[in-house]
Amino acid sequence: MKTPPQLQVLIDDGVIDEVLRPLKSGKEAAVYVVRSGDEVRCAKVYKDMAQRSFQQRVQYQEGRKVRGSREARAIGKATRYGRKQQEAEWKNTEVDALYQLREAGVRVPEPFGYFHGVLVMELVTDAEGFSAARLGEVELTEVQARQFHAVLVQQVKLMLCCGLIHGDLSPYNVLVGPDGPIVIDFPQVVSAAGNNAARTMLLRDVNNLTAYLGRSAPELLDTWYGEEMWELFQAGELLADTELSGEYTPDEHAVDLDGVREAINDAREMALIREQGRREAEEEDY
């Protein structure tokens, strides 16, 4: 395999020693399995902005902090320099989020550094030492589905306690390690306090997981963890050790409860259809 130029730079600098094989390729980045000394890790090579779409980015970037006033002005004016800075900030966001969430105890891959536009991090493996499968590729028992749902709701809660929302959480952004699920892919992570669409994205994240795991454990479809934790977050009462019940009672005088439930179930079904389409597109890219 020919070594990608971005990874050759890391070899020349002594960050990694060898590129072993490609792992996956999507619209945002390509991931490779690499060796660093005696450790096998993965390297995420972000694709150039010319190869990627900026559509829908505005909704994710709202509320994000830009590192300098000059950069903020350039991004606001959409200059060439501003677009480069916007691209850099998009990449840096995932790196910063990984370090912050790992420190907070969220189940994410351990980052080992960001070098020349490449994120080097832990390679998540299964019990046999092979690259871990995505949750959407694994057949689960009813018991496993309930266990995984509980773990993932806890991760979403811990992220929210950090003021962050994944923003694109689905069965295909979760890896299954030997001790349970691990959340990946954070370039679109959202500020919970600074983004007007934060609540919508939080509910979508939780609903995506619930819809998928609810196939194996149907009782999960009657839970309302996203609504419950958002209400607690808004009230300043959501803590890392807060026990969630999955129960939520909206104001029935102001809300059409049956309509809300139907809309959420429709959204869950559509999310699964979209995820299947995205998975097929990624496989074609790969």
Confidence of residue 49 (pLDDT cuts 50, 70, 90): low
Q: How confident is the model at residue 54 (pLDDT cuts 50, 70, 90)?
A: very low
Q: What is the per-residue pLDDT for 284?
A: 52
pLDDT tops 50 at residue 55 = no
Contacts of 227 (CB under 8 A, 6+ apart): 203, 248, 250
Rounded Cα–Cα distance for residues 192 and 206 (Å): 14
Tokens describing residue 36? 């660093």
Distance CA 14, CA 36 (A): 9
pLDDT in the model for residue 72: 46
Beta strands of 70-222 (E only): which ranges? 111-115, 118-122, 164-165, 174-177, 180-183, 190-191
* pLDDT tens-digit readout, 235-274: 999 999 999 999 998 765 555 555 556 656 666 666 666 6
Distance from C-alpha of 162 to C-alpha of 146, rounded to nearest angstrom: 25
pLDDT, tens digit (0-9, with 9 covering 90-100), for 34-47: 999 999 999 999 88
CA distance 95 to 120: 10
Name residue 104's amino acid: A
State yes or no: pLDDT of 17 exceeds 60: yes
Over residues 139-143, mean pLDDT = 96
Structure tokens at 46: 């972000």
Residues 152-175 have a mean pLDDT of: 97
What 135-143 contacts at long range (C-beta under 8 Å, 24+ apart), as own/partner pairs, is 135/171, 135/172, 135/174, 135/175, 135/176, 135/181, 135/212, 136/170, 136/171, 136/172, 136/174, 136/212, 136/275, 136/279, 138/176, 140/213, 140/216, 141/216, 142/216, 142/217
In the numeric block, which tokens belong to residue 79? 């200059």
Class of residue 282 by CB neighbours under 10 A (exposed 0-12, middle 13-18, buried 19+): middle
- Mean pLDDT calculated for residue range 88-114: 92
Q: Write the pLDDT tens digit of every residue in 179-197.
A: 999 999 998 899 999 889 9
Whose tokens are 């691209």? That residue is 87
Q: What pTM value is reported for the model?
A: 0.79
Name residue 277's amino acid. Answer: G
